[in-house]
Structure 1
Amino acid sequence: MSTEQAKAGPVQAVKAGLKGGLAWGAAGVVAGRALQFLTMLVLARILAPEHFGALAVAQVIQTIAINVTELGATAALARADRDPREIAPTILTLGVATSAVITGAVIFFAPTLAAVLGDPGASGVIQILSITILLSGCSGVPAAMVWREYLQRPRAFVEIAGAVLTLAVAIPMAKNGLGAYALVWSRVAGQLLTTAGYWVITPVRFRPGFDRLAAGYVLRLGMPLALANLVVFATLNLDYVIVGRQLGPAQLGVYLLAFSLANLPSSLITAMIRTVALPTFGRLHKAGLLDRAAPDVLGLTAYLAMPISALLVGLAGPLVEVFYGSTWQGAPAAMVGLGIFGAGRIVSEILADLCVGGGRTTGLFWVQMLWLACLFPALLVGVTYTGVSGAGAAHAIVIWIAVLPVYFFLVGRIVKVSVKRMLAPSVTPLFAAIGTGAIGCLAAQWITPPFLALASGCLAGTVLYLALTLRAAKRTYLRLKQLSDAGAEKGERAEIDPATPPVTTTTSQTT
């Protein structure tokens, strides 16, 4: 936050930070993800499906390993309820040490991991992409400080710069015949620039240190979250393992492209909301207002997620034809289930953030275990009998029937709100989205040119959706704004209360 915001007092600082953080967070996420998607579009017309299959295998290892290195500890820093000087040096030490060990292990076991995942030729790709694990461990604390302080404007420039470098490195390497290696080396280059950027823009640079009490605090909060994230990342990458082993690298490449396209809107929405969600939920919880905010948070999330998911389902065929071309015609079948899954995934991410904001993370692990236990047999059956379309359907069925009901029950207990009350603001967006998807499906069937089908379906669906939901969305937004203001005012009173005990700090130093 700026000096002017800080002088204006805690209330105005939080308000300005939240508003500016959301705006710049949205801009940065949209621009960064758009550049990533543009990279995939360009490379999809240069590389073969099996090259993307090798990337998918490497991503499975990378995603799970990065989560393990972080140990969930940066969430303790981002919640903004503790002085960062107490815990940041310890978190930095844990992150760098674990990321170094895991990077070395992945490099050593890469041939075995590639064989287990169904693509023995991907071992070199896995080894190169593992460099990003170490880089991620080094950037965890500065990234969390940027997140904590709503510094989304400089973060946006850092993320965009990393995405631009990735694109700039990938295209010439792909044209020179490097195949999957163009995909991974470009990601290493982008991650290196992003890591350096976070260290430049962080408001405070901490040196490594270790405090036993601080380690106990961050691990008590972070370990259940890390275990839950580990399971969820394993769950979300289980499809790549099964598709690769059952159908081969080429079909895995088709599925990766389908997942990337179907996941783009949900990842954008989730990333935009999460730029401010966790520190805001932590402050609302501290002010005793999280229970009142939770239903409207979910309502606004549904308002954004449902129509996009519906249009992805209704316009799957034209979307693939326009963006990827005729080489990837197996992708629309997978996108139907993946589009439905995308909306559920957005809701699940916000529910998880509500749990973390409420300071209760243990239940998250058991929800993710349930998710994994249900998804594994569903994917096996779906992929075996209907190929990549079965993988998408398995994701959709499991998240909506098995996972989300348990998530709502868990969050209801943590924030002390009934499930019925939490669901009420989401009913209108849900039914309006069904009409939106129907319009898109009709456009895809009646209009032959793919681009015209896509454009007309999106336009008609969007107009219908806004007409049905805009008024309710405005009311929900205004209620959330009032709660955010009330939370900031309570935070200001707490800061000037003479009975509030002083914050104790450790001997860890900052630079």
Structure 2
Amino acid sequence: MTETGGALGKRAVGATLWGGVNMALGRIVQFATTIIVARMLAPEHFGALAVAIVVQTIATNMAELGATASLARGTGDPDRVAPTVFTIALVTSSVMTAAAIITAPALAAAFDDPAATPVIQVLSLTILLQGLGAVPSTMVWREYLQKARVFVDVGSVLTVLVLVVPMAAEGWGAMALAWSRVGGQLVALVGYWIITPRRYLPGYDRSVALEVVKLGMPLAMANLVVFITLNVDYFLIGRLLDPTALGLYLLAFNLAGLPSAVITSVIRATAVPTFGRLYADGTLGTLAGRFVAGIAYFAFPVSAMVVGLAHPLIVVAYGSTWAPASVALATLGVFGATRILVELFADLSVGAGRTMWLFWVQVVWLAALVPALYVGISQWGIAGAGAAHAVVACLVVIPMYVRVLTLVLGIRALDLMRGSIVPLLAAAAAGTAAWLVAGTVQGSVVPLLLGGLAGVAVYGTLTYRQGRVLLLTLRNLLRGRLNTALPETAKEGAA
């Protein structure tokens, strides 16, 4: 049996479960850190951090020119590819770090927040650290070493917590958030170098570089566009509103994105290397609908609960001072669900090696989003920003991805999306039930608990049959019995 059979299924699902443990522990610590710091700092400090994160995120995702995708797909010889990837990542991350430090004053001024200048300069150090760790972290990803990665990632977020609390207490403000992230990234770098299965030094092979850039450059450009897309709202809110509104929106965006961040991080623990191997074996098209159905089953109800319980969630988590952020959270929750699907579609595209398609989808997304955000923010403030994200994602982005994947994978749109219809309708009913129940009682904790229980009960009842099928599939994959976990068409393709 080849690795694309039962062995791959067992290996991928096991790594995904460990990835889930990793994300759960990491996000719990990160969420606790945000709660603690939110009660120690003013909203405008989070606004300065939002500006710095925009710069850092864009630079980080451009820093290695998408080169690590060649390693992550798991279809080439790492001894041949890794040294060149290391060199590309190191050079470009160094250039990006220097550029961010030098242009920080101008970048902060563009966001109308001069106080963000030193925060950008400090946070830019993480770009260089991520460049140094690009190859070892990708090798850990490629070889499904998620169990060992748990200790590295949890150690990183614990470092952030240990550093940020005393710094915030001493009055460091946004700089406490920035320096603590640098410390956490340094711990992650050391950890990945320790657990990587093979260590490589920088090298250069012209033929490899051409292959890497051909695959990676469209992906890097797509990453640049998508992160501009996901952060242009910060820029417009900073220009059209004020730092306090930006801080409220950042908190709401992070909370709304928590389910998508956890789920997509779990998916990406194994997605690209698994999809790459399945595409090479000719079975990715027949399995894509199953992946979409499984992700939708877990993603949609969580996002629906965020929408239905937006106000009590904000108040319980961060305190009544942050209650105005709930208007943005309610609309951003819808976007959170669509974002999970979009991330899965992107990973399917990368696994199939079709990164140029990915780039053009992001370009159209950005072109549609900017005017929608401008109108939404101008008319309805931070709530309008969330609504713009949701409308564009549902009416523009997802239909485009479905069209692209039907061409790339050779499947029908209905086959790709059929399994997500029941979870979508059930999640809408569950979110409505949660909202109605929460509105019948006073306070914040009790409405959150009762509404959550009502929503879970409704969703569980409506999707009971699909949940049982999904559980059986996962059980068979864990036992390495791929043939009993797949539909008949997939069995034929794997034969």
TM-score normalised by length of structure 2: 0.95
- 1:447 pairs with one of 436, 441, 446: 441
Alpha-carbon distance in structure 2 between the residues aligned to 1:345 and 1:264: 11
Match for residue 292 of structure 2? 298
Alpha-carbon distance in structure 1 between the residues aligned to 2:337 and 2:329: 13
- 8 Å Cα contact 1:114/1:120 also seen in 2: yes
Equivalent position amino acid for 1:243 in 2: I
Q: Would you say 1:485 and 2:490 are equivalent positions?
A: no
Match for residue 90 of structure 1? 84
Deviations 1:315-366 (A, max 9, x none): 0010001001111121110011100000000000000111111111111111
Q: Aligned ranges for residues 21-420 of structure 1 at < 5 Å?
A: 21-420=15-414
Q: Would you say 1:18 and 2:12 are equivalent positions?
A: yes
- 8 Å Cα contact 2:6/2:483 also seen in 1: no
Q: Following TM superposition, by how much is the alpha carbon of 1:216 offset from its aligned partner in structure 2, in angstroms?
A: 1.1
Residue 487 to residue 271, structure 1, CA distance change in 2 (3 Å): farther
- 8 Å Cα contact 1:17/1:149 also seen in 2: no
- 8 Å Cα contact 1:321/1:450 also seen in 2: yes
Q: Aligned ranges for residues 491-502 of structure 1 at < 5 Å?
A: none
Secondary structure of residue in 2 paired with 1:446: coil
- 2:421 pairs with one of 396, 419, 427: 427
Equivalent position amino acid for 1:110 in 2: A
Alpha-carbon distance in structure 2 between the residues aligned to 1:219 and 1:487: 39
Alpha-carbon distance in structure 2 between the residues aligned to 1:378 and 1:10: 43
Secondary structure of residue in 2 paired with 1:329: helix
Alpha-carbon distance in structure 1 between the residues aligned to 2:111 and 2:402: 34
Q: Following TM superposition, by how much is the alpha carbon of 1:118 offset from its aligned partner in structure 2, in angstroms?
A: 1.4
Alpha-carbon distance in structure 2 between the residues aligned to 1:171 and 1:328: 19
Alpha-carbon distance in structure 2 between the residues aligned to 1:405 and 1:210: 41
Deviations 1:130-179 (A, max 9, x none): 00000011111111100011000111110000000100100000010110
Alpha-carbon distance in structure 2 between the residues aligned to 1:205 and 1:28: 23
- 8 Å Cα contact 1:142/1:205 also seen in 2: yes
- 8 Å Cα contact 2:126/2:182 also seen in 1: yes
- 8 Å Cα contact 1:439/1:461 also seen in 2: yes
- 8 Å Cα contact 1:287/1:487 also seen in 2: no
Alpha-carbon distance in structure 2 between the residues aligned to 1:134 and 1:477: 42
- 8 Å Cα contact 1:317/1:444 also seen in 2: no
Secondary structure of residue in 2 paired with 1:449: coil
Match for residue 500 of structure 1? none
Equivalent position amino acid for 1:177 in 2: G
Equivalent position amino acid for 1:140 in 2: A
Residue 413 to residue 10, structure 1, CA distance change in 2 (3 Å): closer
Residue 487 to residue 309, structure 1, CA distance change in 2 (3 Å): same
Match for residue 432 of structure 2? 438
Q: Following TM superposition, by how much is the alpha carbon of 1:487 offset from its aligned partner in structure 2, in angstroms?
A: 12
Q: Following TM superposition, by how much is the alpha carbon of 1:210 offset from its aligned partner in structure 2, in angstroms?
A: 0.5
Q: Following TM superposition, by how much is the alpha carbon of 1:467 offset from its aligned partner in structure 2, in angstroms?
A: 1.8
Unaligned runs of 5+ in 1: 1-5, 490-511
Alpha-carbon distance in structure 2 between the residues aligned to 1:31 and 1:358: 31
Considering only aligned residues, what root-mean-square deviation do their CA atoms show, in Å?
A: 1.9
Alpha-carbon distance in structure 2 between the residues aligned to 1:487 and 1:349: 27
Deviations 1:377-421 (A, max 9, x none): 011111111110010001000100111100100011111111111
- 8 Å Cα contact 2:90/2:128 also seen in 1: yes
Equivalenced residues, count: 483
Q: Following TM superposition, by how much is the alpha carbon of 1:19 offset from its aligned partner in structure 2, in angstroms?
A: 2.8
Show structure 1 runs of 4+ deviating over 3 A: 8-13, 476-484, 486-489
- 8 Å Cα contact 2:6/2:481 also seen in 1: no
Equivalent position amino acid for 2:292 in 1: L
- 8 Å Cα contact 1:300/1:477 also seen in 2: no
Residue 488 to residue 430, structure 1, CA distance change in 2 (3 Å): closer
- 8 Å Cα contact 1:367/1:407 also seen in 2: yes
Alpha-carbon distance in structure 1 between the residues aligned to 2:109 and 2:129: 26
Deviations 1:408-463 (A, max 9, x none): 00011111111111111111101100111011111221011210111111111112
Alpha-carbon distance in structure 2 between the residues aligned to 1:290 and 1:419: 15
Q: Following TM superposition, by how much is the alpha carbon of 1:14 offset from its aligned partner in structure 2, in angstroms?
A: 2.8
- 8 Å Cα contact 1:24/1:152 also seen in 2: yes
Secondary structure of residue in 1 paired with 2:270: helix
Equivalent position amino acid for 2:140 in 1: V
Equivalent position amino acid for 2:98 in 1: G
